Amino acid sequence: MNHTVSRDRRIALVFLLPAVVILFVTTIYPMLYALWLSFRSYDLSKPFIPRVFVGVANYVEVLSSQAFLHALLTTFKLMAMTLSVQVVLGVGIALLVTQKLPGMAVVRTLLLIPMMISPVIVGLVWLFLYFPELGYLNYFLSLVGIGPIAWITSTGWALTAIAIADIWQWTPFFMMGTAAALQSLSPEPYEAARIDGNSRFDVFRYITLPQLKPVIISLLFLRAIDAFKIYDIIFVLTKGGPADATEVISLYIYRQSFTFWRMGVGAAASFVSLIIITILITFFFKSLQRSQAALAR
């Protein structure tokens, strides 16, 4: 018996070993190397110069850098703009597409298409739409008497332009998750509310929304982490400009590492970002636990 268990354990280890090796090579080792690098001065343009240990100097520089603080603020502004609209639109569209109407299955499928497209392709599509003179967006605005807008070349509009593209791509994510949750809700409370003569708004406010709250918080949690790392669309549309108006954390790390060749500073900024994401995760988990506890009561 013991011999059989020992053999099964060895077989399991043999099958697990390739996955463990791949995980170490692709994830654990690069993270440990980046952590080691964040405490050293390393100029990528001079790779043969020894990596001198500088302690927490890179972290101090990142946290005291106006460019980093500006990138952090821009990241949170973009997250606030996109997530708030995506939640409202996603829940509203989910309420619509879960109605028992002809063709809704096809509509749901079509609405999911933007989410399936690569962010780089999305960026290129919106780049054509945003062209000042030849873009379709300004053309349609001109038909109603609105002059051309410098969507991606104006500091006042660039971040909004990126937010619009991100909202277009990721609203279906909230729609899909909310629609799945709506279809799993128990019908009994709705039947009781209908008998009592409650309005649709009251039913949504007091029955539907409290039950959807844990799902919405979970979707926000996933999107917030992804939005904090946004890079592709911004790089294609503005490359962080104009005048750093759209430079977010990921672009700041990229510039420090591969434009200014300061790999140590870039690695330190990456770990500061990791700490911020960890704080966000903790906040969302606590909010989710509170909402589930309230729902259980």
**d(C-alpha 167, C-alpha 29), whole Å:** 35
pLDDT of amino acid 186: 83
Kindly report, residue by residue over 78-108, the tens digit of the pLDDT: 999 999 999 999 999 999 998 888 888 888 8
| 8 Å CB contact between 213 and 295 | yes
Tokens of 1: 């018996």
Fold for domain 59-296? MetI-like fold (1.10.3720)
Cα 142 from Cα 145, distance rounded (Å) = 5
Rounded Cα gap, residues 99 and 112, in angstroms: 17
Q: What is the pLDDT of residue 54?
A: 92
Alpha carbon distance 45, 61 (integer Å): 20
pLDDT at 6: 74
- Tens of pLDDT, residue by residue over 3-29, are 665 777 788 788 888 888 898 888 889
Query: How many angstroms separate the Cα of 277 from the Cα of each of 37, 72, 170, 297?
Result: 20, 12, 20, 30
Residue in this structure with the two tokens 């790392």, named with its chain if needed: 229
Task: Write down the pLDDT at residue 3.
Answer: 62
- Given this model, what pLDDT does residue 5 score? 58
pLDDT in tens, the chain (297 residues): 556 657 777 887 888 888 888 988 888 899 999 999 999 998 887 777 788 899 899 999 999 999 999 999 999 999 999 999 999 999 999 999 988 888 888 888 899 999 999 999 999 999 999 987 778 898 888 888 888 888 998 999 999 999 999 999 999 999 999 999 998 888 888 888 888 777 888 888 888 888 898 889 889 888 998 999 899 999 999 999 898 899 999 999 999 999 999 999 999 999 999 999 888 888 877 877 776 676 666
